[in-house]
Chains A and B, each alone.
Chain A
Amino acid sequence: MTAERLQLQRAVVLSQEEVCRDTFLMWLSCPALVRGAAPGRFLMLRCSDGLDPLLPRPMSYHRFRDRDGERQFAILYDVRGRGTLWLSRRRPGDEVLAFGPLGRGLQVRPDARNLLLVAGGLGIAGLVALADEAVAQGRSVTLLAGARTAVRLLPPSFLPPEVEVVYATDDGSRGHHGPVTALLPEYLDWADQVFACGPAAMFAAMAETLRARASRRPVQVLMEERMGCGTGICYGCAVFPRRGGVRLVCKDGPRFDLRDLF
């Protein structure tokens, strides 16, 4: 699903905001980067003016909006190292280089009425666009959002108001005290379809819950793996399906069926 004639594009920074501790929301304008973009797909964003840091960072399309006569998009990212620190210092009007859209996005079944979204940490970045789209289509959406501690949770004001949000924190500072996956059994029967993004340990816990309950709910996950190219040529982002073989997150994913991997 590589875009036709993929090339580096200049995107203009529209706004930049720290929405919770160390997590930034950046709105960008670039028509070429939203053409064909969809929830679950991603772009590769350069995080320097030159060649250091060298590699582009994979960023989920976090949200879309129509404003000023164009379709704009947002990314949500944590400041983790030199590249994202550089990114957090961009100001409105600055330009950044990126290419995309890339990868296979999330797929909602036409008849799915109740969608359960499970986000671990920054995994929420890849799921909010789906929530926006789903509520606009009249579907019911519940989001289970987990983080280490309350100040790392994305506040409700940065989520579509129609979404029911249930929080969990590892330290109990907000919502359920414990892993977000502990909330899963409560909502599983309600959901027609489940979508999740977060660390591998979260996916493993979800798979265990589903197996323990013999649940047949379809679960799509967005895999995160260190990526070099985003285009299927460096083989850096390999994942190993349970039944053998090897897949690339950038080309075969990032959307996978949970049960294929965990």
Chain B
Amino acid sequence: MDLRVHIGGGKRGLVLANPVLTASGCFGNGIEFLRVFDIQRLGGIVSKGITLRPRLGNPQPRIVETPAGMINSIGLQNVGVDAVLRELAPIWATWSVPVIANIAAERVEDYAELARRLDEAPGVSALELNISCPNVENGLEFGSRPEPAAAVVQAVRQATGLPVIVKLTPTAGDVVAVAAAVVEAGADALTIANTFPALSIDIQRRRPALGWGSGGLSGPAIRPIVLKMVYDVARAGLGVPIIGCGGIATWQDAVEYLMAGASAVQVGTATFFNPRAPLEVLEGLQEFLRQEGIEELRELVGAAVSAGQAKKVYSGAEG
């Protein structure tokens, strides 16, 4: 069974052994789970968001539960790129599972600087650009419109030969337009999508439930909305793989995303309530493909996209 996913081309192109990855911010830096299950079996691990300088993150409370979901405002707590290169990348380099470094910044030149620093790091197989974090100042600014999003990708593209994946924000007025712009600027793949800006109020204290105020909504609650975005971008036929990310908790969810046009998926919040969720998604997917007699994953990707285009309008009186 061929489950491989190709991201980017040429000498430094990335080949994932299978389409199940972990979502940034939902798997630490992988190291935390070395003893929980065999993480080498996954298609890829996306690191916690990396910034130029270390960040302590936002004040408490950082998470609040909402119907079938949660809102977080961690605030990109991370050790900074120096410590990543010194302490984490050497460990990643010993793994067979590729690690994708997720990077975040507030200025275009900082994205480029991060890309330069990580370019030759052993243990870093690709970059995922977070142009869509709702939990830092101006975090959403780059991802919300095509031009600034493309500017970040262009700068990063010039700074690295690594495959570049762009993680889009669901808040973009026109997600397809932003997707097209970043692909035009050189993106090798798209992750769709980041969390939704969201709010919860502590009614006893008459203030936002999170210390930062608002946060990002994730979990099964967002899945049908993100699925539609994947579907829309897939229909635009931009020619790069889409990585679906939003509320995936089971293999059935993953199959939905694949059929909607994603070539791979990221499991995020589900790992919080089921530590083995990424592995179970992979195992369930493999079993499904076996039962369906599918030899290559590609056969499944976008299976529902063309079907959805044949719309029939019924008209006339009821009954």
Contact = CB atoms under 8 A, between A and B. Distances in A.
B171 interface: no
B121 interface: no
Interface stretch (B7-15, B25-33, B161-169, B294-302): B25-33
A236 B62 contact: yes
A53 B65 contact: yes
Contacts of A86: none
B91 to A, nearest CB: 15
B28 A233 contact: yes
A228 B272 contact: yes
Contacts of B272: 55-56, 228-229, 231, 233-234
Interface in B56-107: 56-57, 60-65, 67-70, 72, 74, 77
Contacts of B69: 54
A226 B61 contact: yes
A235 B77 contact: yes
A225 interface: yes
A227 B69 CA distance: 14
B269 interface: yes
A54 B68 CA distance: 5
B35 A225 contact: no
Nearest to A200: B60
A228 B63 contact: yes
Given A51-B249, A56-B273, A233-B28, A226 B62 contact: yes
Contact of B275 (A7, A83, A235): A7
Contacts of A56: 272-273
Contacts of B37: 5-7
The interface residues of chain A, by DSSP majority, are classed as loop
A247 to B, nearest CB: 11
B309 interface: no
B74 A5 contact: no
B270 to A, nearest CB: 9
Contacts of B213: none
Interface stretch (A142-150, A186-194, A238-246): A238-246
B33 A233 contact: yes
B274 A234 contact: no
Contacts of A3: 35
Contact of B32 (A83, A227, A231, A245): A231
A55 B62 CA distance: 14
A54 B56 contact: no
A55 B70 contact: yes
The 6 closest A-B pairs by CB, nearest first: A229-B272, A236-B63, A233-B28, A52-B68, A6-B36, A232-B32
18 contacts: A3-B35, A8-B274, A54-B68, A55-B272, A226-B63, A228-B70, A231-B32, A231-B275, A234-B25, A234-B63, A235-B28, A235-B57, A236-B62, A236-B72, A238-B74, A238-B77, A246-B56, A251-B32
Interface of A: 2-8, 44, 46, 51-56, 83, 99, 225-229, 231-240, 245-246, 251
Given A44-B273, A52-B67, A56-B272, 11 more contacts: A6-B35, A51-B273, A52-B68, A54-B219, A55-B273, A99-B275, A226-B63, A231-B32, A235-B25, A235-B74, A238-B57
